[in-house]
Chains A and B, each alone.
Chain A
Amino acid sequence: DAGVIQSPRHEVTEMGQEVTLRCKPISGHDYLFWYRQTMMRGLELLIYFNNNVPIDDSGMPEDRFSAKMPNASFSTLKIQPSEPRDSAVYFCASSRTGQRPQHFGDGTRLSIL
């Protein structure tokens, strides 16, 4: 089975631009998670979905961040407008119901200049 697929792998953009990160979870997984990793704060959960419905978005930093899951095989994390402090590695992960472990994608390294 293919793992969690994220795109792009790297993104460099200027402050103020809109950024869209993409994720395809493992087929059959009904939970999808977005994490952010920075040196200062480590790995933080931003939001997670169950059956395409957002369950907990308490980790989303502010209104500039939004996430959607239009179907079971695709999710986006959007930042608009982007700021230099948003620079980080963003991970998507998925899991199956039943307290199964989360499987992570390779992450997107985002640099906002």
Chain B
Amino acid sequence: AQTVTQSQPEMSVQEAETVTLSCTYDTSESDYYLFWYKQPPSRQMILVIRQEAYKQQNATENRFSVNFQKAAKSFSLKISDSQLGDAAMYFCAYRSGSRGAQKLVFGQGTRLTINP
């Protein structure tokens, strides 16, 4: 079974600085998808960024980018120019690329604090 590990329960960063959240996963599959979701205090689960395993290029969404290392099974999230609104729990998630596979496997989350 696939597992997702986020080794940093909490992180903090100064406003306008850059922070990197770590995620590793375990799978024997070659085709899969990886996601980062953000959960602010309002409790919503918001998709931040997505990466297809077959793509070598790292995904980027404005201030959010990933460092996808397939061989190392690592999928870190970099937040540049941190803003107060970035404060939230961040969850890394895995989904198999097998036809019909839909189950998301989540890590335990990293709580990110932004210091003004």
**Across-interface contacts of B64 in A (CB, < 8 A):** none
The residues of A with any CB-CB pair to B shorter than 8 Å are 31, 33, 42-43, 45, 48, 50, 55-56, 89, 91, 93, 95, 99, 101-104, 106-107, 109
Can you list 18 residue pairs at the A/B interface with Cβ under 8 Å?
A: A31-B102, A33-B104, A42-B107, A42-B109, A43-B104, A45-B104, A48-B103, A56-B103, A95-B102, A101-B50, A102-B104, A103-B47, A104-B44, A104-B46, A106-B42, A106-B44, A107-B43, A109-B43
Report, as a range, how many residues of chain B touch the other chain.
Answer: 20 to 34
Give the most central of B33, B50, B104, B108: most A CB within 10 Å: B104
CB proximity of B101 to chain A, nearest CB, Å? 8
Q: A99-B33, A101-B35, A106-B44 are in contact. Are A55 and B102 (CB under 8 A)?
A: yes
Partner of A101, one of B44, B47, B97: B47
Contact of B97 with A99 in the complex, beta carbons under 8 Å: yes
Partner of A42, one of B47, B97, B106: B106
